[in-house]
Structure 1
Amino acid sequence: MTLSPICKVFQGTADRRQMFRMFDRHAQRPNRSPDDGALYRGEWFEIGEAEYDTMLDILPPLWVRSDMFAMREFLTGSVTSVFFALPIDNCIRYFHGYCDLSDRASPGCMRAAIVERESRPVRAMTREERLEHIWSSTHDDYRGYAGERFTERQRGMRTVLFYGGQRGTMLKLLDELTDAEISAKLPVHLRYLPDAMAA
């Protein structure tokens, strides 16, 4: 499994169902451990205002700042949800990100990364963002982790089912999808966005 830098994991604005589903995108991971914070740290996605307000009302936040608040309940170790209300292009937009609060700069770094990513003049996606969107939007029944059918080195890596035409449906490592396979797995409105340089 790869450890996440600060990375957008879903394109578009997640609705309530998608938001709750993405809170634990790695629920099926083998060998779950309370120390799996590195899997989540740095992952972020956009939500709507209603979802932001819902999360603010669930429990008293751990802390509130002018444009963000942190959830009182930690996902794992020192990693918790931080919600942002950020002015981007003269509009307030809402985001969820996982920050490691053992690093006091983590929420500020997340905020800066979101603003930088969402302020780009041209919509574009990096290869990593494309793969993360596929992972986030694929139903649990069609994604998982490499097991005994894979080499020792590949075990535990993320997999998705892929329809290979005459070859039928096959299990493929997410990170090894070709550009054509990635395009086929993305929704039509995301297939032809230009490639972005990784930040």
Structure 2
Amino acid sequence: MTHRPFRRVALGVTTNAEMFALFGRYNGAPCDAQLISGQLWAGEWFEIGSESYDYMLEMLPPLFYRRGMFGMSEFKAGSVTMVFCAITINGVPRWFAGYCDMSIAGAPDMLRQAIIERETAEDADTPRRDEALEVIWNATHPDFKGFAGSVNPDAYPPHLQGKRSILVNGGGAGTTLSLLEDLKPEQISDKLKLRRIYVRESA
């Protein structure tokens, strides 16, 4: 068994409030196998501040603890729990949170390595398409996003049920509902303009 790909789902250092908002970013998701098993979260990670790291360490007795890393004893779902890492990157101490499937041997170390590789990449400061979609999802008010078929199951075929959907500017057609994964480059750029984020086309 291999771990789901590790992926950055937020940019910059999150505040404590933003961290907790990210914990609930799948509120309203359909109760399916992905949700029940915790695989909906497995592999996701983002940067936090040192205060958030210390706060979470003191919240509950950790599942495990070693220098620069600990895991939450309260699992999100299935065998997936949150792991926190303190990593020095290019001489700068930084702190991160990510979800690991603890049924896979070495998952916390895999998370740590994935973070280091992404944060030391040449394009570390430029979000890739998949990361940009996550930023858009996180920043969109709950009233303007949801899960395909959750309100009207007949509106989507079975293979699209439960996929994330979001309201977009449809031009002459007005505001329309689109699957998050189907957003066009110009729609992504429009939604990120306020953050002054320029998105690289290829993942």
TM-score (norm 2): 0.88
Identity percentage over the alignment?
42
Judge conservation of contact 2:100–2:108 (CA < 8 Å) in 1.
Answer: yes
Shift, 1:103, TM fit: 1.1
Q: Is residue 12 from structure 1 mapped to residue 12 from structure 2 by the alignment?
A: yes
Residue 170 of structure 1 aligns with an amino acid whose one-letter code is T
Matches within 5 A, 1:27-176: 27-32=27-32, 35-122=36-123, 123-147=125-149, 148=153, 149-176=155-182
Q: Give the count of matched residue pairs.
A: 195
Matches within 5 A, 1:174-193: 174-193=180-199
Shift, 1:70, TM fit: 0.4
What SS does the aligned partner of 1:73 have?
A: coil
Judge conservation of contact 1:4–1:39 (CA < 8 Å) in 2.
Answer: no
Judge conservation of contact 2:37–2:80 (CA < 8 Å) in 1.
Answer: no
Judge conservation of contact 1:44–1:96 (CA < 8 Å) in 2.
Answer: yes
Cα 1:18–1:187 change in 2 (3 A) is: farther
Structure 1, unpaired ranges of 5+:
none
Residue 140 of structure 2 aligns with an amino acid whose one-letter code is T
Shift, 1:151, TM fit: 2.6
What SS does the aligned partner of 1:83 have?
A: strand
What SS does the aligned partner of 1:76 have?
A: coil
What SS does the aligned partner of 2:159 have?
A: coil
Give runs of ≥4 in structure 1 deviating > 6 Å. none
Residue 19 of structure 2 aligns with an amino acid whose one-letter code is M
Distance 2:177 2:159 in 1: 16
Shift, 1:4, TM fit: 5.4
Shift, 1:166, TM fit: 3.7
Structure 2, unpaired ranges of 5+:
none
What SS does the aligned partner of 1:191 have?
A: coil
Q: CA RMSD in A?
A: 1.9
What SS does the aligned partner of 1:20 have?
A: helix
Residue 146 of structure 1 aligns with an amino acid whose one-letter code is A
TM-score (norm 1): 0.90
Shift, 1:193, TM fit: 4.6
